[in-house]
Amino acid sequence: MSDEKLPERFRPSPESMICFDLYATHHAVGQVYQPLLAELGLTYPQYLVLVTLWTGDGMTVGALGGRLNLESSTLTPLVKRLEKNGLLRRERDKADERKVRVHLTETGREMETRASHIPGCIAEAFGLPMPELKNLHDILLRVRESLKASVEAD
């Protein structure tokens, strides 16, 4: 933490707040993703579920929620919608029936090819060279971990 202190009677404006920067950036990123995902009939959270399964098909709902930082009450409707749309299927774990595994269907696997242009479009929209994007990613990860630790410490 920096030794610099805020002035005693600091009155913030949205433009001076990092949290506003993150909020406004989140909104702007969503606006870039929206038309790209609309072409595929996906929402951003659904896309995240698919991206996660493309890196490791057959994970449990719990593991999927852990990777995406989503509670079961949020994740279950997403998974059900993707199943209804034919992109994945759920099945009980054969070794432990309390667990549900999520598997991509053939259509879900094919969606990866249909969505392969999205990361490049997003990177281009950020307008930063790749080393700066990597640095930004690393900084945001550290900030997120610090914030989570701060909440857990309370």
String of DSSP letters for 19-40: HHHHHHHHHHHHHHHHHHHHTT
For the segment 26-52, the average pLDDT, to the nearest whole number, is: 97
* Residue 2 confidence (pLDDT) above 60: no
pLDDT category, 38, cuts 50, 70, 90?
very high
Distant-in-sequence, close-in-space partners of 30: CB < 8 Å, separation ≥ 6: 44
76-105 pLDDT, tens digit per residue, is 999 999 999 999 999 998 889 899 999 999
For residue 41, the SS3 value is: coil
Task: Please calculate the CA angle 148-151-154 and round it to the nearest 5 degrees.
Answer: 150
pLDDT category, 3, cuts 50, 70, 90?
low
pTM, whole model, 2 decimals?
0.86
pLDDT category, 20, cuts 50, 70, 90?
very high
**Backbone phi, then psi, for 142, in 5-degree steps?**
-65, -45
